[in-house]
Structure 1
Amino acid sequence: MLKITSALLIGGLASGASFAEKWHMPTPYGDGNLQTQIAYSFAKEIKDNSNGELEINVHSGGSLVKHTEIPRSVKTGQVQMGEVFMGILGNENPIYKHDNIPFLATSFDEAKQLWEAAKPDIAKALNKDGMMLLYTVAWPAQSLYSKNAVNSLADLEGQKMRAYSPTQSRLADLMDTTPMTIQTPDIPQAFSTGIIQAMITSPSTGVDSQAWDYVNHYTDVKAWIPKNIVVVNKRAFRRLDKDTQTIILDAAKHAEAAGWTQIAERAAKDKATLLKNGMMVTDPSPTLVAELKAIGKTMTEEWKAEAPKDIGAILSRYEN
C-alpha cells in the first residue's frame, strides 16, 4: 500500500490559495527525459506567474511514488498532480489503450489526430475518477530493441519481451514472445539478468537506459506513438482561486505545445545517439512490417470489441 508521510502533503487538499503552498508532482522518468524537462518548465511557469504562491515540486525518476501508483495517489489526494504513461491505465478503461495499438497511428500528425479523437472520452473518464486532465506529451514512435537482427517474428519466437502496459502484454503474446512487466528504471538490470531479451520502446528510453550496453540492434518499426498525461486532483484544483487555476491551465497549454513541437527533434537526436554508441539502426524488412501490421489489425479489432460504442466513436472521429 502506498505510504507518503504527512510532511509530503504540505499544501494538500485542505489548504487554499490564499497563502504560499507546495504541491507534489511525481513522474516516473529521469531528469534527462524530455517529458520530465517539460514538467520542470511547467512547474517553473506556475511558480513564476503566481509570484511564488504555488510551487509544484516535481519528483522525477519514481523517487516519490512508483509509476503504477501515481494515478491512485492523485485520485485519493495523496499528491496533487502526477504524470503517467497513459497505456498503463488500459485495464481500468479500454479507451486509455488508444495510443498503444500497433500501426493505428504511426506519424506525429496521425498521433495528434488520434489524440483529438480520444481526448473528450479520456477527460470524461478521468473526471469520473476525481481527476482533471492538464496536458499530454507524446513519445517518439516505439521501435524494436533486440540482441540479434530481426527480419521476421520467427527471429524473436520464445524470447522474453518487456511489457509496460496491458496492450504491450497482448502484443508480446501475438508475437510469440513472453511478456514481462518491467518499468523503465529496471530495464538495464532486466536485460543483464536475462529477465528480458527484447523490448519495443522509444529511442529516448533506449538512450536513457543506455541500451547499447545490453542489446545490439534497433529496428525502426515505428509501431505506435504513445503519450504521457499529466493530471491534477479535481478537489485540489477547485480549491484554488480563479487566477491560480488560470495560471495552471495556461502553463498546461504551453507544456503540451512544447511537447508536440520538440518530440520529433528529440526522436532524431536520440536515434543518432544510439548509432553513435555502436548500435545497428535499421529499417524493418517488408516481412516484419507485414507481420506487425497483421497483428495491429487483430489488436484494433480486439480493442474495439472491448467497448464497441465508445471505441467505435473514437475510431470514427479519427478516421473521418
Structure 2
Amino acid sequence: MKIGLMTSGGDCPGLNAVIRGAVLHGIKTYGHEFVGFRDGWRGVLEGDVVDLPRTRVRGLAREGGTILGTSRTNPYDGPNGGPERIAVTLERHHVDAVVAIGGEGTLAGAKRLAEAGLPVVGVPKTIDNDLQATDYTFGFDTAVQIATDAMDRLRTTGESHHRAMVAEVMGRHVGWIALHSGMSAGAHAVLIPEQQVPMDQVAEWVTEVHERGRSPLVVVAEGFIPEGIDEVVAGRGTEASGRPRLGGVGEYVTERLEAMTGIETRNTILGHIQRGGAPTGFDRVLATRFGLSVVDLVHEKQWGKMVAIRGTDMVRVPFDEALSGLKTVPQHRWDEAKVLFGR
C-alpha cells in the first residue's frame, strides 16, 4: 500500500514526529510505501509529491516545523478540487490512502472527502488544544512551555521596574494556552475568549497585587473580547483565508489598565514564537504515538476516522465526533484558576 502524508493549516512543533512515526512503523511493520504531499491540500490537488523513505525521516522527532510544508488551501477549491478530481490525482500517483494531519479546517475537508468515498484518515493537530474527541493535541504543550518561559522573564523585568506586565498569547476561540501558561507562570489575571471579564475587575486585581509590592502579570488570549466590545480586536487586516488577523488586544488591555490604575504597564505579544522551535518531550511522544496509530488505522482501512488520545490510551473516533464543536475552557477550570487572581 502506498500512503500519502500531508500537513495542513498552521504549523506547530510535533508535525515531523508524526511523519517519522508513521513512516517507520508503516515500513517496518507492514512494508508500506510512503510519499508526502507538499504544502497541505495544495500538494494533493496538484499532485506535488515527494518520496518518504526511512532515510528521509531520521532524527525528525526533535525538529520543529514540517518537512512537507503547509498551507490553508481548501481541497474543494480550484479546477483540481473536489473528490472526483482528487481521486484521479491519487490514482495517477498510485496513492492508496491519504493521512491528513491538521486542525479543524483540515479535518473538515478530510471529512467531506471521506464521505464522498475517498480513503482519508486524520491526525489531530493544533497548538490551541481545541479539538473535541481528544484530550490533547501535540504542539499545545510546547506552546505552553514557550509562553511560560517568556512570562518568567517578563516577571523579573517587571519586578525590577515595579511595572505591570501584559502577555498576549495565541488563542483565537479558546483560552487553553492562556490558562495553562498563566497558571504555570503565576499570573495574577488570565483573560480568555470564553469569559468576558470587565476591565474594572482586571484593574482591581492588578491594583491589589501592586499594593502588595508585587509586579502584576496579566495574560490575555488574542481572541479575548473585553466587556463592552462586540468583536475581537483585529486592526491588522485579514488573512488569506478571510479570517481577521488577530493581535492587538494585549495593547488594548495595557492602555486601559495604565489609564485606570496609574500603574506603568508594558505589553508583549508572543505571537508565532509559540509555534516555532523544537517540540517538548511530551509533544514528541504524543506526536509519535499518533503517527504509529494512524498507520494501523490505514492498514485496517478505517476511512473517515482520526486517531485521538483519551487518558493515556490511543483511540479511534469518527470525524463527526472530532468536529462536533470546539473544546472550550469549561467554567469549572476558569473558576479554579480565578482563585489565584489578584490577592
Q: Please say which structure displays the higher CA radius of gyration.
A: 2
TM norm structure 1: 0.34
Q: Which has the higher helix share?
A: 1
TM norm structure 2: 0.32
